[in-house]
Amino acid sequence: MKDQKQLIQDLEKLREKAPLVHNITNYVVMNSTANALISIGASPVMAHATEEMEEMASLASALVINIGTLSEKWVEAMHLAGKTAKKKGIPVVLDPVGAGATTFRTNTTKDIIQEVRPQVIRGNGSEVLAIAQAGFTTKGVDSTASAEKALEAAKELAKNANAVVSISGKTDYITKGEDTRAITNGHPLMGKVTGTGCTATALTAAFAGINSDPFTAATEAMVVMGIAGEMAAEESDAPGTFYAKFLDALYKIDGEQIQNRWKNE
């Protein structure tokens, strides 16, 4: 299949070029997402100081803005890095963690979308609904809405923000408004490890760093996430072991796994 061939080529390119992914991300997942990026073949940097934002963002192949643990200084850093990336044509992937839980999170997300114009917005169903529909609230950082329930809102958000929207769930959906892909790879154990969604965001940025089409990059990242989850679950039956095997799977995933396992609708 054409899509499988493209993913195999992009995975090889990613491992060859090791794109630098600048992550402004949360305390909870820094180690997890850095390990995932290294395992797939990318080069992570976690930099948050406003004093180095413009310089660091200029060096990157892609930028992740993840609002999981917000502070006033971090929000300032996100805007500085985001505007620098926008000016230089560097892709930005926004993860609106917990949007809808508090006014601060929701407003921060909307401000970043307005001012930075990220190429990809990647979140769960509740987060997407909170951004797209005024008044929708979430339960902390956990999703209370399925990806399916958020799909129509995601399509509208994609059109309004001129961005690709990637929603994670039992079925992952990637949409740019008119075109939508559904990815059914994955395993329930992925939901038992903290930071899985944030990892998907980081991998999306890694693929965006070597493929200029954000729709393709977002799709490829979710396919790789899902296949790696399946591979890890075959060698583990509990969250702790699963996490280690998941990193191994990202390291080992190859063309044969992609050809044999990719499920989409």
Q: What does the pLDDT look like over 30-81, one tens digit per residue?
A: 999 999 999 999 999 999 999 999 999 999 999 999 999 999 999 999 999 9
What integer is the mean pLDDT of 115-131? 95
Helices (H), 89-188: 103-116, 125-132, 147-161
pLDDT surpasses 70 at 134: no
* Pairing verdict, β 43-46 and 20-24: parallel
Find out whether 110 and 79 touch, Cβ atoms under 8 Å.
no
- The per-residue pLDDT for range 85-100, each reduced to its tens digit, is 999 999 999 999 999 8
| Mean pLDDT score of the chain | 93
**Whether 5 contacts 202, CB under 8 Å:** no
Judge: domain 2-261, CATH 3.40.640.10.
no
pLDDT band at 145 (very low <50, low <70, confident <90, very high): low
